[in-house]
Structure 1
């Protein structure tokens, strides 16, 4: 039995234990010429004490060093095209700082134990779709949330600084985040699945669409979109994982994505290339670090002992 599941156990634990968090923090003591102060956008569902506590989680020691906005249920409907409109449900909060041109998007989830489903790379991927660019983003929540509504705070930060994002792209970005999260949750227990692979699939599909538009200068049909999806799934070894229903969801997503101006944006192309390289590098570093440190061998040995103990106890009972 152990030999059958050894590879799966090793891969899962290596991914869970070794995935490094993004190594950056926003310095609120430094005033940037582009936006001035970094902007703290907190959820309207927080009371006064929770607003202060969340600010500390985000690294804000002095409110005088940040601009402050709150995000409401109405904002969620405005930017995402969905939601209940219930401001009391807005819990997750963000700190956003504009950075130099072509720096890309950096995301740090400060409370991974509370942002329970969405990963940093999923936020980056969806933010690129929405038209967010060149910024550092820190996300935190005092209470367990899926994390999907945090995009609202990011969009509010840009809007508050006079950078109006395209409504259609913001709505598609939210559909992307919801769709990829649904697929991730449905497949998380399956052998050979990882959120890293899914992120690479999404990036690759976007790149294929972008390349197609640059080379052909014409609209894509649904059949070509599905081919890009199937090819990307195969490229990242998720053929045995993804269901036909999940492929259909991705096809519906990218049929909407192709109707936005993200498809032939040079900025999107640059940001996707940067993200693709970093996601790929992260996957390689995780494996190499585990291999070189001997952790993979230790995990294998640990579970080998557990299974031996279980089998030994089983034999005694019989």
Structure 2
């Protein structure tokens, strides 16, 4: 009896010890957020521009004023952006800079493009594109501020954001980073192609993409390409883009979602929550745009035809 009791106690102790060990592993694995703010500074900045950039970014800090700095150069661009198809070299210049501030759990990813001397010098990448890329790369719960002393596309700031997490000891999945960079290129090209198009805004596209990611997460890592295609089409329709985004662009979006699935992003339990938060925030901040999507003028052609048919038969029966 004593022997049996001893075996039982040893078994319980082993289970408890294993549970504590497993728990510590899970906590360590989940700790992929920054421990303190990190400011990334482009290596091509003059001393005056560098100080001006520091002043512009540090003024945005909402809490902890202590931050570390990281210089971003051509090698940083090559390391983080070239694997997805960019062609930067070690001698590439970098002016765009960023400040990444960790926030409380559940606050989501927030991006603000900060004016430099009263001017927005980020010419290509929009705030919502930065947010979607950060989500795909595996970043969560952070305020990100981006600026540049000279007009530039903003790639240097993006590479700096990725590098900041590695500097802080957090590891972003390179496959997700590659997917994020590819996604950034696709969204930027679609927005550029539709600049000035009636009924199109960058907010609509990024809201649709955030919705696609949320639906992907709900579907799970075994989602098929056919299901992904349906998810893409449904979210484009929900954002009134189904007749604006052409077939080639739709194919590009489907391929982006397939790459996100293959990157392992859907295995992150936080991905779905962050995607939904991003979509809610875009809708809230651009409420006027999304309110207009529900007006009579902007309802799609097929719906109007169907409403006409319904109205016609109602008239007959009445």
Normalised by the shorter chain, which TM-score bucket? 0.7 to 0.9
What is the Cα deviation at residue 34 of structure 1?
A: 6.3
Q: Report the equivalent of 2:267.
A: 264
Work out the CA distance in 1 between the residues paired with 2:258 and 2:277: 24
Work out the CA distance in 1 between the residues paired with 2:242 and 2:49: 44
Contact 1:45 1:87 in 2 (8 A): no
Work out the CA distance in 2 between the residues paired with 1:124 and 1:243: 24
Work out the CA distance in 1 between the residues paired with 2:151 and 2:283: 29
Normalising by structure 2, what TM-score? Answer: 0.73
Q: Report the equivalent of 2:211.
A: 204
What is the Cα deviation at residue 117 of structure 1?
A: 2.3
* Residue 95 of structure 2 corresponds to residue 94 of structure 1: no
Q: Report the equivalent of 1:6.
A: none
Work out the CA distance in 2 between the residues paired with 1:249 and 1:287: 24
Q: Report the equivalent of 1:236.
A: 239
Q: Report the equivalent of 2:67.
A: 66
Which protein is bigger by CA-based radius of gyration? Answer: 2
Contact 2:78 2:90 in 1 (8 A): no
What is the Cα deviation at residue 224 of structure 1?
A: 2.3
Q: Which runs of 5+ in 1 are unaligned?
A: 1-32, 289-318
Contact 1:40 1:69 in 2 (8 A): yes
* Residue 148 of structure 2 corresponds to residue 148 of structure 1: no
Q: Report the equivalent of 1:105.
A: 109
- Specify the SS of the correspondent of 2:144: strand
Q: Which runs of 5+ in 2 are unaligned?
A: 1-32, 292-318
Work out the CA distance in 1 between the residues paired with 2:110 and 2:230: 31
Work out the CA distance in 1 between the residues paired with 2:91 and 2:142: 26
What is the Cα deviation at residue 223 of structure 1?
A: 2.5
1:152-301 to 2 correspondences below 5 Å: 152-213=159-220, 218=222, 220-284=223-287
Work out the CA distance in 2 between the residues paired with 1:99 and 1:188: 34
Work out the CA distance in 2 between the residues paired with 1:273 and 1:184: 22
What is the Cα deviation at residue 243 of structure 1?
A: 0.8
Report the count of equivalent residues: 249
Work out the CA distance in 2 between the residues paired with 1:286 and 1:235: 13
Stretch deviating more after TM superposition (83-92 or 177-186) = 83-92
What is the Cα deviation at residue 87 of structure 1?
A: 4.3
Contact 1:117 1:181 in 2 (8 A): yes
Contact 1:44 1:87 in 2 (8 A): no
Q: Report the equivalent of 2:12.
A: none
- Specify the SS of the correspondent of 2:150: coil
What is the Cα deviation at residue 60 of structure 1?
A: 5.4
Work out the CA distance in 2 between the residues paired with 1:204 and 1:97: 25
Contact 1:58 1:140 in 2 (8 A): yes
1:221 to 1:283, Cα distance in 2 relative to 1, 3 A: same
- Specify the SS of the correspondent of 1:116: coil
- Structure 1 runs of 4+ off > 4 angstroms? 285-288
What is the Cα deviation at residue 35 of structure 1?
A: 2.4
Normalising by structure 1, what TM-score? Answer: 0.73
Contact 2:77 2:89 in 1 (8 A): yes
1:209 to 1:34, Cα distance in 2 relative to 1, 3 A: closer
Contact 1:43 1:93 in 2 (8 A): yes
Q: Aligned-pair RMSD on alpha carbons?
A: 2.2
